[in-house]
Amino acid sequence: MLVTGKEILDRAHKEGYAVGAFNINNMEILQAVIAAAEEENAPVIIQTSEGAIKYAGIKYLSALVRLAASEAKVPVALHLDHGTTYETIISCIANGWTSVMIDGSHHPLEENIAVTREIVKVAHAAGVSVEAELGRLGGVEDNIAVDEKDAMLTSPDEAEIFARETGVDSLAIAIGTAHGKYKGEPKLDFDRLVEIKKRLNMPIVLHGASGVPDEAIKKAVELGINKINIDTDVRLAFTEGVKNVIINKPEEYDPRKICGPAREEMKKVVKEKIRLFGCSNKAWTK
Ligand code: G3H
Ligand code: 13P
Ligand code: ZN
């Protein structure tokens, strides 16, 4: 069942759990995520980056995910991850995405508000949900000075203004996570999360969640995170699965026997994440 991002995240916000948003680039990753969500009876967000769209083609991704969603026993949203241009966002809306992210986080506050507001206007007119981002992800290393850390992380004052001025459906915040593999252990600023959640009272999104210890993820969910983006951990599972076959059966040359086991590895990881996020058995039917 294909649904909007807002339908999924408003429930998660109300009931206090987080939904997994998994990046997909091809059929096997998509099938792994959908099968995991069905086995956990959980709503799920399938997200495509601009890079994924460039790799697979917008029509292919649209057809694949919409087919998977229409056959799925659980609610599925199709979301654009880190949309940066008006053109990409419009093409996603025209091709059936039910949720888009406008990432204006590199802009100063006023400009981020202006570009986000413009997207909210067109997306909402088409019944599509909008996620925006405020603050800079990038990992807060121990050697970064305290005031520098503060400047990167999302300011609760700015978040309040941003949410009010833009009308976004969910907001991604920077509280110490980074995209990709971590060098050290990430330290999350939970007090900041509590303050932002209290002031905004809306769905809050955590990017760069691969590699964050389970205890920190659990706490972030308890304190108000409702969407958790995972890409790297699924990429690692895929690569491990492929490597296992190539190393243990070097004579293998059937792509199905290489990608099939990788799909199983990815499904296991996605199921673990869904359980960790408290999202198992949160699916509903219309
Ligand atoms: O946040 C970025 C996601 O992991 C997508 O990465 O642009 O390489 O597809 P990508
Ligand atoms: P990771 O690759 O660190 O899981 O981050 C994913 C993400 O934030 C996608 O937007
Ligand atoms: Zn991200």
What is the domain-level CATH number for residue 183? 3.20.20.70
Report whether residue 88 contacts ligand 2, using a CB cutoff of 6 Å. Answer: no
Residue 232 structural domain: 5-277
Q: Are 222 and 201 in contact (CB under 8 A)?
A: no
Q: Is residue 207 part of a domain?
A: yes
pTM: predicted TM-score of the whole model, two decimal places = 0.97
Does any domain span residue 285? no
Number of structural domains (the chain) is 1
> Is 84 within the bounds of a domain?
yes
> Left if phi > 0, otherwise alpha if psi is -120 to 50, otherwise beta: which for 123?
alpha
pLDDT band at 263 (very low <50, low <70, confident <90, very high): very high
User: Is 116 a member of any domain?
Assistant: yes
284, part of any domain? no
**Distance (Å) from CA 82 to ligand 3 centroid:** 6
Is residue 143's pLDDT more than 60? no
What's the confidence (pLDDT) of residue 148? 65
Please tell me the predicted confidence (pLDDT) of residue 62: 98
In a domain, 283, yes or no: no
Q: Answer with the residue of higher pLDDT: 142 or 284.
A: 284
- Beta carbons of 236 and 32 less than 8 angstroms apart: no
Dist. CA 59–CA 50, nearest whole Å = 13
**CB-based neighbours (< 5 A) of ligand 3, an ion:** 207
Give mean pLDDT, residues 193-211: 98
Average pLDDT for residues 174-185, to the nearest whole number?
Answer: 93
Using a 6 Å cutoff on CB, does residue 231 contact ligand 1?
yes
Q: How far is the CA of 227 from the centre of ligand 3 (A)?
A: 11
Whether 211 maps to a domain, the answer reads yes
- Identity (one letter) of the amino acid at 265? E
189 is catalytic: no
Is residue 90 within a helix (H) or strand (E), and if so which, with residue range? helix 86-94
Among 81, 103, 231, 233, which one carries the catalytic annotation? 81
CA distance 162 to 113: 6
User: What is the rounded average pLDDT for all residues in the chain?
Assistant: 96
131 Cβ inside 6 Å of ligand 2: no
Whether residue 212 is predicted with pLDDT greater than 60 in this model: the reply is: yes
- Answer yes or no: is 241 within a domain: yes
Verify whether ligand 2 is closer than 6 Å to residue 84 (CB atom): no
